[in-house]
Structure 1
Amino acid sequence: MITLTTNNLESVVEVNVDGKITETDMEEFKEYFKLKKAADGKINLLLVIKEIEGYSMQGLIEDLKFEANHWKDVNKIAVTSDKKWLEIATKIGSYLPKIETKHFDRGQRDQALDWLNS
């Protein structure tokens, strides 16, 4: 399940993930992303991840299609989690062209927001 959280930073989309990501979750995220992008141009993503139980197949397909079309719209991605594999995946993500990525421990949401806003 994806929950979109409002924060006081106009260029930051905050996404909380806890459980399985569905096609409906991805549709809601895409609509919110497009609204934020229209207002601010490039955006930053904060992914607050508690648990990921996987994607539904359609959710995965929607995610991959969206990412392929919108990487150029993202400036930075911060990931907060207590999962070692997500820390490693974030480091691998830093090789994406023109996107900065950084992992933070789960309790470091404020530090992640500060980094995204810098």
Structure 2
Amino acid sequence: MADEIDVTIDEDLVEVHATGKLTRQMYEDHMPRLNEVIDKYGSLRILFFMKDFQGWSADGLWEDIKFESKHGGDISRLAIVGELRWHAGMAEVCNMFTSATVKYFDPGDLEVAREWIAADPK
């Protein structure tokens, strides 16, 4: 299994598909675009879809911690779509570190997650 990330951005809505492990290079490749979205819209709505996701490399975890510490308040909604028990647990952990509304979805509910994340959070 290869480490891959695909990021799609439509206005303030970011959809991330991750496979394998997230690395520092992946964060470095995509952070400029995410920063532009935050600057333009003030916040992000993120759908994070995990398929065969194994977590983070050590340097990738550090980049994720830095992103959360800097932009945790810039995320208004976070939909986590995963296939393993610990993926569901990520939603609970994320609730402790962000002011975003966080919700977990099973892989078969990807379209439901897309509808939820696209809904007006107000």
Alignment TM-score, normalising by the size of structure 2: 0.83
Correspondence for 1:5 among 5, 8, 22: 8
Instruction: Report the counterpart of residue 26 of structure 1 in structure 2.
Output: 27
The residue type paired with residue 54 of structure 1 is G
Which runs of structure 2 are paired with 1:12-91 in the superposition (5 Å)? 12-91=13-92
Instruction: Report the counterpart of residue 100 of structure 2 in structure 1.
Output: 99
Q: Aligned partners of 1:29 and 1:71: how far apart in 2?
A: 16
Unaligned runs of 5+ in 1: none
Q: CA RMSD in A?
A: 1.7
| Residue-pair matches, total | 116
Query: Do the aligned residues in 2 keep the contact of 1:46 with 1:77 (CA within 8 Å)?
Result: yes
Query: Do the aligned residues in 1 keep the contact of 2:12 with 2:45 (CA within 8 Å)?
Result: yes
Per-residue deviation at 1:29? 2.6
Alignment TM-score, normalising by the size of structure 1: 0.86
Q: Aligned partners of 1:116 and 1:97: how far apart in 2?
A: 16
Percentage identity across aligned positions?
28
Structure 2 counterpart SS, 1:94:
helix
Stretches (4+) displaced over 6 A: none
Alpha carbons of structure 1 residues 113 and 58: separation in structure 2 relative to 1, 3 Å:
same
